[in-house]
A and B are shown apart, each in its own frame.
Chain A
Amino acid sequence: ELKVEQNPLFLSMQEGKNYTIYCNYSTTSDRLYWYRQDPGKSLESLFVLLSNGAVKQEGRLMASLDTKARLSTLHITAAVHDLSATYFCAVDLGVNNAGNMLTFGGGTRLMVKP
């Protein structure tokens, strides 16, 4: 059974600071997703990581994937209040490349204080 664990579960940080969210998973997979969810809203896709060593960056967020360590990280640089949200990683076991069977981590609730 695939298990996906995120830490920390809750993160309170000051604006301007850097921090990293970790996502560990238990079964081999080379497809990992990061999502953002605002309260009461649906999921917004941030990154799709498709191979070992993949690194993607968008604004103040950078995600990486180490399939050998079964670890993905989401790094936040110089946090701003607008980044306050819950962040989920999800590992994809795939269905013959026809679609996605995602197993989600428990989420990291990020609060950025002015």
Chain B
Amino acid sequence: NAGVTQTPKFQVLKTGQSMTLQCAQDMNHEYMSWYRQDPGMGLRLIHYSVGAGITDQGEVPNGYNVSRSTTEDFPLRLLSAAPSQTSVYFCASSRGTEQYFGPGTRLTVL
């Protein structure tokens, strides 16, 4: 199993550009989520999904969209990037108490 994979690993955007961060898991987990980690801080929940077709907002959802068309994939879209979205983004999948984090995407918005 590859576990949770994320692409790209690094990305630089200009203010106002849009992009999609990809996340996939091969463990057949129903639950997936996106977190962001700012320097020197813990992770904060952006959006989560309890299954295909079902998504909901976490603590810091503004500026981000998600969709869940399949169990495996949970992309995160930045509609119009802002410098405040410079962060490291982690995708996670889980079942019950087993939680797995992806390797992260380091995003810089200029």
**Among the listed B41, B59, B94, B103, which residue makes an inter-chain contact with A100, where contact means beta carbons less than 8 Å apart?**
B94
Residue-by-residue, is A46-58 near B (CB-CB < 8 Å gives 1, otherwise 0)? Answer: 0010100000000
B104 touches A106 (CB 8 A): no
Contacts between chains A and B (CB distance < 8 A), count:
64
List 24 A-B pairs, Cβ < 8 Å. Answer: A4-B42, A42-B103, A43-B43, A43-B90, A88-B42, A88-B43, A90-B42, A95-B48, A96-B50, A98-B31, A99-B32, A99-B94, A99-B95, A100-B31, A100-B33, A100-B92, A100-B94, A102-B35, A102-B45, A102-B99, A104-B42, A105-B42, A106-B40, A107-B42
Tally of contact residues, B, Cβ under 8 A: 28
Annotate A1-15 by CB proximity to B: 1 below 8 A, 0 otherwise.
Answer: 000100000000000
Known: A95-B50, A99-B94, A106-B41. A42 touches B104 (CB 8 A): yes
